[in-house]
């Protein structure tokens, strides 16, 4: 089993969180906030795009949350995009800058971006799935000359639910990025595509053998995105997914995220489709 784990925060045990300060909290939507967490010293959290940390609020609980910032952007802090959905995330949303949270990690296997160099990259996040993929997108953009075409297909329920809208505008203005957006339910100001994310695939053409696709989103989305990608001729090993759901302890002890012989928290959460296509529990 490949744990893909690196514990660089100075904790006596992988089970003991380090208390870190919140530097900044930014509201993204009515349901999501971005938390900028201060690192105790530079490079103390060396994560790969696609990895996650275990975040805790004392007296409330703990949950795995993907790191949404790129390691290429900052060595003194990292960012978490958190949707308010339960006891722990509600407690996080009630905190203020200067408060502290417990952090364990980073854990899991991220995306092997060094293997993607020289290839075209197709990103297809849906909804909150943009949060973990943002780490990969910005890592690639910061090393732009080593990649081919960069195509981003992003879908959300409504325009107000789109995350990181300032960055979406920046990506739209770049000549070296192809950005396509869609929403299920448009408002009066929306001028773009209407429909689920798979309706965007007809807008693009790719070189299948030279394209790596990375997707993340609600479980129901995966099956249809995979159908599109396979239908375009992408090899199964060139299609990557984040299966961050169902994780709990983060270190392969509780069995909550087990899929046959694999543990999402250790063998993933980044998987190629070739690795999981035969696992009924995966999709």
Query: What pLDDT does residue 3 have?
Result: 43
Q: What pLDDT is recorded for position 45?
A: 62
Q: With a threshold of 0.85, does the pTM exceed it? A: yes
Residue 46 pLDDT: 75
Q: Which stretch of DSSP H or E encloses residue 55?
A: strand 52-57
Interatomic CA distance for residues 135 and 198, integer angstroms? 22
Tens digit of pLDDT at every position of the chain (283 positions): 444 444 455 566 888 999 999 999 999 999 999 999 998 765 556 789 999 999 999 999 999 999 999 989 888 899 999 999 999 999 999 999 999 999 999 999 999 999 999 999 999 999 999 999 999 999 999 999 999 999 999 999 999 999 999 999 999 999 999 999 999 999 999 999 999 999 999 999 999 999 999 999 998 999 999 999 999 999 999 999 999 877 889 988 888 888 888 899 999 999 999 999 988 767 7
Spell out the residues 6+ positions from residue 253 whose beta carbon is closer than 8 angstroms to its own.
none
Which DSSP helix (H) or strand (E) runs through 90? helix 87-93
Helix (H, G, I), strand (E, B) or coil at 144: helix
Show the tokens assigned to 258. Answer: 């087990």
Q: Is the dihedral of CA 192, 84, 226, 179 positive or negative?
A: positive
Instruction: Enumerate domains of the chain plus CATH numbers.
Output: 18-107 (2.40.30.10), 113-276 (3.40.50.80)
Give the 3-state secondary structure of residue 169. helix
Cα(142)–Cα(144) distance, integer angstroms: 6
pLDDT computed for residue 75 by the predictor: 81
Strand partners, 52: 66, 107
Q: Which of 3, 77, 81, 67 is nearest to 42 (CA)?
A: 77
């Amino acid at each position: 089993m490949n744990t893909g784990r690196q514990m660089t925060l100075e904790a006596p045990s992988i089970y003991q969180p380090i208390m870190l300060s919140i530097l900044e909290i930014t509201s993204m939507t009515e349901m999501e906030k971005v938390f900028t967490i201060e690192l105790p010293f530079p490079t103390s959290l060396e994560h790969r795009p696609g990895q996650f940390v275990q975040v805790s609020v004392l007296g409330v609980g703990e949950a795995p949350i993907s790191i949404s910032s790129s390691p290429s952007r900052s060595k003194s802090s990292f960012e978490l995009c958190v949707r308010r959905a339960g006891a722990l995330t509600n407690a996080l949303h009630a905190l203020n800058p200067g408060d502290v949270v417990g952090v364990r990690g980073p854990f899991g296997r991220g995306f092997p971006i060094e293997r993607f160099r020289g290839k075209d990259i197709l990103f297809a996040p849906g909804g909150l799935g943009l949060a973990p993929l943002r780490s990969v997108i910005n890592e690639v953009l910061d090393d732009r000359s080593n990649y081919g075409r960069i195509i981003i297909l992003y879908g959300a329920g409504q325009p107000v639910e789109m995350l990181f809208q300032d960055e979406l505008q920046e990506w739209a203005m770049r000549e070296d990025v192809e950005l396509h957006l869609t929403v299920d339910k448009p408002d009066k100001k929306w001028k773009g595509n209407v429909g689920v994310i798979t309706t965007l695939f007809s807008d693009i053409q790719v070189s299948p053998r030279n394209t790596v696709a990375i997707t993340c989103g609600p479980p129901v989305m995966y099956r249809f995105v995979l159908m599109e990608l396979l239908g375009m001729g992408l090899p199964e090993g060139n299609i990557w997914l984040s299966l961050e759901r169902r994780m709990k302890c983060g270190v392969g002890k509780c069995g909550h995220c087990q899929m046959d012989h694999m543990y999402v928290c250790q063998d993933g959460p980044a998987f190629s489709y070739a690795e999981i296509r035969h696992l009924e529990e995966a999709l």
